[in-house]
Amino acid sequence: MAKAAAKKSAAAAPSVERRPALAGQELSATGVTLAVLPPAERISLRAPDASVAALSKALGVTLPQKPKTSAAKAGRTALWLGPDEWLVIDEVGKVPLADCAEVTVLHSAVVISHRNVAISVTGPAAAATINSGCPQDLSLDAFPVGAASRTILGKVEIVLLRTASDAFRVECWRSFSDYVFTFLSEAARDAAA
């Protein structure tokens, strides 16, 4: 299904420039570094339990079914966001939407590559930086490496993924990225405390 929206990109390359939000912005503070990550391919994937196996196979990554978890393989990460919802991020330029287009089991795959902006927060004060506006417990026990969750940062919604004990990926909608980066920058000034 969903062929209409999933034409393989055989056509000509864009003749105009891609201008990602906040491209290349970085900030370093004591104990933490922020960096806006390069564009990635993304889909919002929705499917019932019965479709998970077939979709996992097509995507090459096993869709996690446990809350607040993620799975990653070969540059592609699937984040559990809800009981029938995953955010699939591909950082190596492969197109998950195309992979899903061949799958006939019940599902919805919608491309959101440009909807989201990703910011990496790394360093020993990374969790403290995020906890400046995120009410979740980000200790390694409560939010281990690989944990993923939609949550709040200040006044906006983010998706949070812990990529290492001292590294997070923060995803937010494009128009909120300025707010999120500014918020994290403010928080970073004080995170080593």
Partner 1 sequence: MIAAFRIPGAGRLRQAETASFSFDGHSYAGVEGDTLASALLANGVHLIGRSFKYHRPRGFLSAGAEEPNALVEIKRDSARKTPNVRATVQELYDGLAAQSQNRWPSLSFDVSALGDIASPLLSAGFYYKTFMWPKSAWKNFYEPKIRAAAGLGVAPDQADPDHYSARFAHCDVLVLGGGAAGIAAALAAAETGVRVILVDEQAEFGGSLHFESGAKIDRQDGFAWAQSAVAKLKTMDNVRVLSRTTAFGYYAQNFVGLVERVSDHLQNPGRDLPRERLWQVRAKRVVLATGAIERHMVFADNDRPGIMLASAARTYLNHYGVTVGRNVGVYTANDSAYAAAIDLKKAGVGVAAIVDLRDNPTGPVIEEARALGIEVNFGRAVIRAGGKLRVSSMTVQPKNGGGERTIPVDAILMSAGWTPSVHLFSQSRGKVAFNDETKRFVPGAYAQDCVSVGACNGTDGLSATIDEAYAAGAKAAKDVGANAKGNKPKVDASENWSRGMLGAAPGAGADTTVKAFVDFQNDVTAKDIRQAVHEGMRSIEHVKRFTTNGMATDQGKTSNMHGLAIAAETLGKPIPQVGLTTFRAPYTPVTFGSIVGHARGPLFDPTRKTAIHPWAERQGAVFEDVGQWKRAWYFPKAGEDMHAAVDRECVTVRKTAGLFDASTLGKIEVVGPDAAKFMELLYTNPWEKLEPGRCRYGIMLREDGFIYDDGVVGRLAPDRFHVTTTTGGAPRVMNHMEDYLQTEFPHLNVWLTSITEQWAVIAVQGPKSRDIIAPLVEGIDMSDEALPHMSVREGRICGVPTRLFRMSFTGERGFEVNVPADYGQAVWEALWAEGQKHGACAYGTEAMHVLRAEKGYIIVGQDTDGTVTPNDAGLDWAVGKKKTDFVGIRGMVRPDLVANGRKQLVGLKTKDPKVVLEEGAQIVGDSKQAIPMTMIGHVTSSYWSENCGRSIALALVAGGRDRMGETLYVPMPNATIEVEVTGMVFFDEKGERLNG
Partner 2 sequence: MLLIRCPYCEEERPELEFRNAGEAHIARSANMAGESDDDFEKFFFIRSNPKGIIYERWRHMHGCARFFNAVRDTVSDRFLLTYKAGEPKPAKLPGASK
Binding site for partner 1 (CB under 8 A): 1-5, 7, 9, 11-21, 39, 44, 46, 48, 84, 106, 108-116, 128, 131-137, 139, 142, 154-156, 173-176, 178-179, 182-183, 186-187, 189-190, 193
Q: Minimal distance in Å, beta carbon 176 to partner 1?
A: 5
Q: Taking CB within 5 to 8 Å according to partner kind, which of partner 1, partner 2, none is near residue 186?
A: partner 1
Closer residue to partner 2 in complex, CB, 77/149: 149
Closer residue to partner 1 in complex, CB, 13/92: 13
Q: Taking CB within 5 to 8 Å according to partner kind, which of partner 1, partner 2, none is near residue 139?
A: partner 1
DSSP string of 135-176, one letter each residue:
-S--STTTS-TT-EEEEEETTEEEEEEEEETTEEEEEEEGGG
Rounded distance between C-alpha atoms, residue 34 and residue 118, angstroms? 10
Residue 189 belongs to what H/E stretch?
helix 177-189
Rounded distance between C-alpha atoms, residue 115 and residue 134, angstroms? 21
Are residues 168 and 161 in contact, defined by beta-carbon separation less than 8 angstroms?
yes
Q: Minimal distance in Å, beta carbon 70 to partner 2?
A: 14
Q: Taking CB within 5 to 8 Å according to partner kind, which of partner 2, partner 1, none is near residue 22?
A: none
Q: Taking CB within 5 to 8 Å according to partner kind, which of partner 2, partner 1, none is near residue 115?
A: partner 1
Rounded distance between C-alpha atoms, residue 132 and residue 143, angstroms? 16
Closer residue to partner 2 in complex, CB, 113/136: 136
Closer residue to partner 2 in complex, CB, 94/150: 150
Closer residue to partner 2 in complex, CB, 33/65: 65
* Binding interface with partner 2 (CB under 8 A): 67-68, 81-83, 85, 135-136, 149-152, 157
- Name the H helices within 18-142: 52-59, 96-101, 126-130
